[in-house]
Amino acid sequence: MERAMVSAATGAMSSVLAKLAELLHEKYKLAKGVRKDIQFLRSELSVMNDLLYDMAGIEDLDARDKGWRDRVRELAYDVEDCIDLSVARFRRAGGDASKGGFFGTKQLVRKLKKIRVSLQIAHEIQELKARVIEESDRQKRYDGLIGSSSDASRNKVDPRMCALWEETKNLVGLNGPMDEVIRLLMPGEGEVPSQQVRTVSIVGCAGLGKTTLANQVYQKIQGHFECQAFVSVSQNPNIKDILMKICSQVGATPSMADDELLLVNKLREQLQYKRYIVLVDDIWHSDPWKIIGQALVRTSPGSVIILTTRLKDVAESCCSSHGGRVYDMKPLDDNDSRRLFFKRIFDSEDKCPHELERASEDILEKCDGIPLAIISISSFLAVDVPQSADHWNKVKESISSPLPGNKSVETMQSVLSLSYYNLPHHLRTCLLDLCAFPEDWIIDSDRLIGRWIAEGFVNAEPGENLYEAGLRHFNELINRSLIQPWDELRGVVWSCRVHDVILNFLVSKSVEENFLTFSNPSGLPTSVHSKVRRLSLQNSYQENVVSWIKSVKPYVRSLSCFRDCNKELFPLTEFEVVRVLDLEECESLKNVDLANIEELLQLRYLNIGGTGVSELPAGIGQVQNLETLDIRWSKVEKLPSTIVRLEKLACLFVDRKVMFPAEGFSKMKGLEQLKCFSIHGQPLNFLKELGQLTNLRTLEAEVMVDSNEANVNYEGSGWGIFTSSLQALCSHKLVDINIYGRGSPPILMDSSFPALQSLRTFVIFPINSPPIWMGLLVNLELLHLETKQFTPEDLQVLGGMLALESLVLDLGNTYACPFTIRGHEFQRLKYFYVSRLCQILFMPGAMPKVKHLEITLAFTTDSYNDLGIQHLASLTRVNVSINHVWCGHRGAVEDLVAKTRSLLDAHPNHPTLIFDTSFYGKNE
């Protein structure tokens, strides 16, 4: 049956509707009465699904509405479980229900079993029908289900408005950012005023104080301008209303009869010869700015536009249209966090009773520098909590859960709700799944995306596979500042973490909607519901929790374990409807615990990385819905021959020690990602069949080359067969290749190696020199080379690759000759890393889009020439390392550091500079 979307808004309703439609197909020879009941269920649930979507857009449902919503969502889960288990029972009773119908067997025993199962299904469908009728009647009895909630939400006051009237004496940590933004907007002393409008977008997550900062800048500099305007756009803007407000503030004369075009023309006429400042606060989409920006003419010399947004792509889009700069607002540092906290409670920035110091530090750690979080919790402590260590420690333990009667924390929640309810349904669901991970957990993107796909949270667009859609969702959440990028490699984000303040919000939202249940610090479950759909085990348990876990097993769809597994989890087969088993690093998990895993017919994601499992059971080949298998860092060294039966497996993550079956691997036609295996020692037939996986998109492999085989002809060897398979794969869908060598000599890259023109990502090291066909990779976006020989001519070839966005050059143990990056080269490059350089020069117009530059300089003399970094127009971050060959040349290094800092200080973007000079003092 085709899988449909599952979401926090509607539960499994969309999936249920698709499965009910499938059951009505002729191939399922259901009794007439059962078919009629299924048709009724489908019709009623379809109406309920529509209503659930309407309710999902409302922040404040009353208790009656929430109760109805929760019951209907639970009903949808129960219906889907009934369907899935029914199909499983029919299979066990004698054949696959999808092949030949329920009563197709000629053997009497099997027929009797199937009749008994059919009667059981009919009974369950009748019970579900009765529940649907009950909920439908209840909704009809209480007509106007969502009206009162909707009205209540409209009357709420936006808590961000308070920031506009915050007294300057109460603000902490804004002086530095305020000076920085003013420096970006206003000409310095002796500087000629800009002939263009200067635009700065202030971007950051909820609660950072973007509006406060923008307003303080506005108040401080507005006296330098002839006219001023301050407007808020918000999530659902009325563009005409916004334009009228700007008109009124700058002295134009708007009329209610004016349409948007006329208002734009009036504004342009009014502002054309005036020096103005306009603050446009809280932009959620770039579309409103397309109109507002047209009204704010760019030919008014010295004029200023300030924007605030939570979305990085919106900030960049708004700035690109006006040639502006993005200011990425950061959390407060530890000192400013303490100052703000103490000032709110004790009316002093540095006085705190000794007995409260430890509790204060713990509370501030949870706030993690977010001003609104600090203000919310300190206001609560100042008014409602006695100043004692015991009371403050109780508050600290309660921060991760809603605090009854705490209006300040409710304010923080409401601010975060603006971001949450602005998300499409599928992104809300993906975001909620992040609260399955403990605080400060570093979450691998592959792990996260695999979980989302398995549960049906991912919404793929036409022409997009599920992993690509999941990666798009991941990047969208980063763009919206709702998750923090963590590990970045080659300009790509590989992992993330969730800010504690946002995680606390997600936890409360998840508890409210019974989306996910997890253990609190005492080990007790957070949910009072009898049916737990998603379970995250994060702490050790009291004895009474073990029996509770056993009672909820039949309903759990996702199990995440972040502590070592104990007996309460086993047997795993009691999780009858589980889709996700995420057991990474549960060291006590053993081979026996995976026995009978073939009974988990709905299992789609299995992660046993870092566990004690050393052998996968043969039954793994019968888990026909499995899509992701992750055994990295486990003790498994050989895959069973039955693994080739997993025709739906899309992602297989292994270790380099793992051996593959000699026969049948080509049957795994669904495989899209194969990572971390070693070519060395693999059956040659496996390497040959690898080329028949026509859907493979990502391949990561290790090549071990024996130093004694440096001059051996590789044709017919493992490497030769592997490269032939690569050539076959690239004629299909292969777009990402990561090949890394161990040992010596370098990987051979002669003319027999295929020119992989379809590639988007190519990582290969070490090699002797770039091959002559490298310039043919016209679609390449990311390239990582480690090579012993690299010439300026090679650099020119790479500079002409029009799609290249990330480039990593590791130039081995030798020092490359000076390089010059010309103005027409690397036009799309955003990330550039290069090591072992004697010297590099960026010419005007070079790398116009590069944002992050990392270079390792290895000059052998104390001479120094200008690097031309000032010519990199989009630069925001620079990392420079000085190699140890500078020993004895401290003065030259200090000169290099000073000149580079001077260049970047004068750069319009004021890029962050990190200079690593840790080597230059050695041996002096």
Query: Using an 8 Å Cβ cutoff, are 387 and 380 in contact?
Result: no
Q: Is the peptide bond before 237 cis (omega within 30 degrees of 0)?
A: no
**Bridge partner list, 913:** 878
- On whether both 870 and 892 belong to a single domain, the answer is yes
Range of the domain at 486: 423-508
The CATH code of the domain that includes 265 is 3.40.50.300
Write out pLDDT tens, residues 422-463.
Answer: 788 999 999 999 999 988 788 999 999 999 999 999 989 888
211 lies in some domain: yes
- pLDDT at residue 116, rounded to an integer: 56
600 lies in some domain: yes
How large is the angle between the packed helices 357-367 and 389-398, nearest 10 degrees?
A: 20
Query: Using an 8 Å Cβ cutoff, are 807 and 831 in contact?
Result: yes
Rounded Cα distance, 857 and 213, in Å: 38
Instruction: List the structure tokens of 826.
Output: 């690397």
Neighbours of 916 (CB within 10 A): 12
- On whether both 257 and 173 belong to a single domain, the answer is yes
668 lies in some domain: no
Rounded Cα distance, 309 and 803, in Å: 29
7 lies in some domain: no
Q: Which helix (H) or strand (E) holds 121?
A: helix 108-141
Instruction: List the structure tokens of 874.
Output: 């989009």
Rounded Cα distance, 791 and 796, in Å: 9
- On whether both 141 and 253 belong to a single domain, the answer is no
Q: What residues have CB less than 8 Å from 177, skipping those under 6 apart?
A: 213, 327, 329, 330
- On whether both 324 and 363 belong to a single domain, the answer is no
Backbone conformation region of residue 11, classed left if phi is above 0, alpha if psi is from -120 to 50, else beta: left
Query: Using an 8 Å Cβ cutoff, are 418 and 206 in contact?
Result: yes
For residue 608, the SS3 value is coil
Query: Using an 8 Å Cβ cutoff, are 893 and 921 in contact?
Result: no
- On whether both 133 and 165 belong to a single domain, the answer is no
- On whether both 173 and 308 belong to a single domain, the answer is yes
How large is the angle between the packed helices 108-141 and 32-56, nearest 10 degrees?
A: 40
728 lies in some domain: no
685 lies in some domain: no
Burial class of residue 111, CB neighbours in 10 A (0-12, 13-18, 19+): middle
Rounded Cα distance, 500 and 483, in Å: 10
The CA-atom distances, in angstroms, between 818 and each of 265, 842, 860, 861, 915 are 54, 11, 12, 13, 20
Domain-ending residue, one of 328, 356, 375? 328
Three-state SS annotation for 614-659 = CCCCHHHHHCCCCCEEECCCCCCCECCHHHHHCCCCCEEECCCCCE
Write out pLDDT tens, residues 376-402.
Answer: 777 677 766 788 888 888 777 766 554
Domain-ending residue, one of 299, 328, 357? 328
- On whether both 550 and 622 belong to a single domain, the answer is yes
Q: Phi and psi dihedrals of 177, rounded to 5?
A: -60, -40
| Percentage of the residues of the chain whose pLDDT score is greater than 90 | 27
Write out pLDDT tens, residues 488-541.
Answer: 888 788 999 888 778 888 988 898 888 999 875 455 566 656 789 999 988 766
- Measure CA of the first residue to CA of the last residue in the chain; give whole Å: 72
CA dihedral 506→510→516→517, nearest 10 degrees, is 100
Sign of CA dihedral 101, 87, 16, 2: negative
Domain-ending residue, one of 413, 431, 464? 413
- On whether both 498 and 595 belong to a single domain, the answer is no
Neighbours of 797 (CB within 10 A): 15
Using the structure block, give the residue that is written with the tokens 């200067």: 198
For residue 264, the SS3 value is helix
The CATH code of the domain that includes 433 is 1.10.10.10
634 lies in some domain: yes
Query: How many separate domains does the chain show?
Result: 6
- On whether both 174 and 148 belong to a single domain, the answer is no
- On whether both 170 and 308 belong to a single domain, the answer is yes
The total number of residues written for the chain in this structure: 924
Q: Which helix (H) or strand (E) holds 467?
A: helix 466-479
The CATH code of the domain that includes 603 is 3.80.10.10
- On whether both 351 and 448 belong to a single domain, the answer is no
Rounded Cα distance, 195 and 550, in Å: 71
Half-sphere exposure of 448 (CA within 13 A, CB side): 31
Q: Is the peptide bond before 766 cis (omega within 30 degrees of 0)?
A: yes
Rounded Cα distance, 538 and 540, in Å: 7
Instruction: List the structure tokens of 712.
Output: 């051996």
For residue 215, the SS3 value is helix
Mean pLDDT for back-to-back runs of 10 residues, the chain (924 residues): 74 87 70 82 86 80 81 88 76 50 45 55 74 74 51 47 51 82 78 75 87 89 90 84 91 86 90 90 87 81 89 84 80 87 78 85 83 77 80 73 54 70 89 90 94 94 91 89 83 86 86 82 58 86 72 92 76 93 91 93 95 95 96 95 96 96 95 94 94 94 65 63 86 89 67 70 86 85 88 87 92 69 90 82 90 78 65 86 61 74 77 68 40
Residue 518's identity, in one-letter code, is F
646 lies in some domain: yes
Q: Name the strands in the sheet holding 495-497, side by side, starting at the edge strand that comes first in the sequence.
A: 443-444, 495-497, 484-485
Using the structure block, give the residue that is written with the tokens 């593959």: 660
- On whether both 898 and 807 belong to a single domain, the answer is yes
Backbone conformation region of residue 217, classed left if phi is above 0, alpha if psi is from -120 to 50, else beta: alpha
Residue 774's identity, in one-letter code, is M
Write out the DSSP string of 657-712. Answer: TPBPPSS-GGG-TT--EEEEEE-TT--HHHHHHGGG-TT--EEEEEEEE-GGGTT-
Query: Using an 8 Å Cβ cutoff, are 71 and 151 in contact?
Result: no
